[in-house]
Amino acid sequence: MTDLTQFKRETTEWLEANCPASMRKTQTRSEGVFGGKKFTFPSDDAKLWFDLMVDKGWTAPQWAKEYGGAGLSSDEAKILNKEMDRLGCRKPLIGHGLWMLGPALLEYGTEQQKLEHLPKIARGEIRWCQGYSEPGSGSDLASLRCKAEDKGDHYLLNGQKSWTSDGDKADWIFCLVRTNDEGRKQEGITFLLFDMETPGITVRPVPLITGESHFCDTFLDNVEVPKDQVVGDVGKGWSVAKALLVHERTMMADIEKNMPKPKFSVDDYAKNYLSTDENGRLQDGLIRDRLAQHMIRDEAIKLTQRRAFEEGMAGDFDMRVATIFKYIGTEEKTNKDTLITDILGMAGAGWDTDNFSEDEQTKTHEWMSNKALTIAGGSSEVQLNVISKRALGLPEI
């Protein structure tokens, strides 16, 4: 028996023996495990599953053991992922630390920073948020003005960050600040890490159309950050920021895989909510056509992602594909949400009332909130600009 065959057998046996039955069911967004000091587990099984996976190092399977991972090879990690998918096991932990900061720290962090932060991310002890955008600096991120003054052993921060997702729930923030005003705007940006409890930070949640409050405005007023919390070189934070965005866009392109699994597929909705003819075909030809188009595009995206993943594993990863996948993945996701809403008809307008099922209400919320996916991490228009310039080599207009 080869090592990988044995690894697969042992992995399957372990998952079957240890993953609680309730952790193999589809989950709602509110059941996602984000970790952190303020986090409350949605159930005892979620906590048990999380603890068991943390002990195995399987929350971050490919990270080295000293960083809280399991040190799996890419082939072993692939087997683990596939088996978890096959058995329907939930992700034991999700969030900015695992998806974005961790991979960026592995590339740019000092050994001390890796040892300090990666194990806490893998063990879900610290929840992270992202302090990139500012009022007037979203798409044009490099124009950011949040100021960091050099005060010898520390920086003194003043300014405002906007759209900070879950800033009120996070323990630490990775943040872009301006340490220098001279030269190109990309120069003089520094990548900093700091505790959200540091004096001078005020976080204000922003209420949204969905009724939730996912974003925050984050105000920095004379916030002191020690200099050893700079990641990468001072004034070279733009490189770290861009590397992290590649991980963010890769995660967002494959958002469905990275988030709790939906209860029903789009064709389940069509079968349950629309009438069919005597051969079981959907009677509405327009919806039938849109459904077929969606399924073809969805399959094509998945296959292309798999090809890019395999190429990446073979050491041939092209950073530009993250932008392409971010664009097509999030556009197709919102296209799918609109299709489901149209299939549901009036039931797709469910809003906190006894007249709609829980799932119908969830779908209405998702249809509204998932539109944001084509904006977060860089809007679709900006991705198209990047693709035209970097991937296709077209001239700028």
Ligand X SMILES: Cc1cc2nc3c(=O)[nH]c(=O)nc-3n(C[C@H](O)[C@H](O)[C@H](O)COP(=O)(O)OP(=O)(O)OC[C@H]3O[C@@H](n4cnc5c(N)ncnc54)[C@H](O)[C@@H]3O)c2cc1C
- What is the distance between the alpha carbons of residues 172 and 198, in angstroms, rounded to a whole number? 9
Q: Which of 63, 99, 163, 327 binds ligand X (CB under 6 A)?
A: 163
Give the residue with the Cβ less far from ligand X, 54 or 241. 241
CB 262 within 8 A of CB 119: no
Q: According to the binding rule CB under 6 A, does residue 382 interact with ligand X? A: yes
For ligand X, the closer of residues 106 and 255 by Cβ is 255
CA distance 109 to 84: 30
Q: What does R_g of the chain's alpha carbons equal in angstroms?
A: 22
221 is an interface residue for ligand X by CB under 6 A: no
Stretch that binds ligand X, among 110-118, 160-168, 228-236, 310-318 (CB under 6 A): 160-168
Residue 86: other Cβ atoms inside 10 A: 10
Is 289 or 381 the residue whose CB approaches ligand X more closely? 381
Q: Rule CB under 6 A: choose which of 95, 194, 378, 387 binds ligand X.
A: 378
Nearest to 332 by CA among 290, 360, 365, 361: 290
Residue 255 CA to residue 214 CA, distance in Å, equals 17
Question: Site for ligand X (CB under 6 A): which residue of 26, 139, 276, 355?
Answer: 139
Q: Does 189 bind ligand X (CB under 6 A)?
A: no
Is there binding between residue 329 and ligand X (CB under 6 A)? no
Question: In sequence order, which residues have a C-beta less than 8 Å from that of residue 356 and are 6 or more positions away?
Answer: 347, 350, 364
Is residue 179 close enough to count as binding ligand X by CB under 6 A?
A: no
Which residue has its beta carbon closest to ligand X? 138
Q: Per rule CB under 6 A, is residue 255 in the interface with ligand X?
A: no
**Tokens 């920086």, located at residue:** 155
We find the least distance from the C-beta atom of residue 296 to ligand X, in angstroms, to be 27
The distance of closest approach from Cβ of residue 308 to ligand X in the complex, given in angstroms and rounded to an integer, is: 23
Binding piece for ligand X, criterion CB under 6 A, among 9-17, 222-230, 295-303, 374-382: 374-382
User: Which one of 132, 172, 174, 191 is in contact with ligand X (CB under 6 A)?
Assistant: 132
Stretch that binds ligand X, among 48-56, 188-196, 200-208, 369-377 (CB under 6 A): 369-377
Shortest Cβ distance from residue 231 to ligand X (Å)?
A: 16
Of residues 325, 301, 316, the one with CA closest to residue 250: 325
381 belongs to the binding site for ligand X (CB under 6 A) = yes
Sole window of 110-118, 161-169, 277-285, 294-302 interacting with ligand X (rule: CB under 6 A) = 161-169
Rounded Cα distance between 27 and 94, Å, is 13
As a whole number of angstroms, the distance between CA 266 and CA 236 comes to 45
Q: Are 324 and 374 in contact (CB under 8 A)?
A: no
* Percent of the chain as helix, strand, coil, to the nearest 5: 50, 15, 35
- Rounded Cα–Cα distance for residues 167 and 117 (Å): 18
Report the residue number, 12 or 258, with the smaller CB distance to ligand X.
258
Q: Are strands 128-131 and 172-178 parallel, antiparallel or unpaired?
A: parallel
Give least dist CB 139 to ligand X, A. 3
List the Cα angle 194/162/129 in 5-degree steps: 40
- Binding of residue 385 to ligand X (CB under 6 A): yes
Task: Decide if 45 contacts 20 (C-beta within 8 A).
Answer: yes
Residue numbers at the binding site for ligand X (CB under 6 A): 129-133, 138-139, 163-165, 372, 375-376, 378-379, 381-382, 385
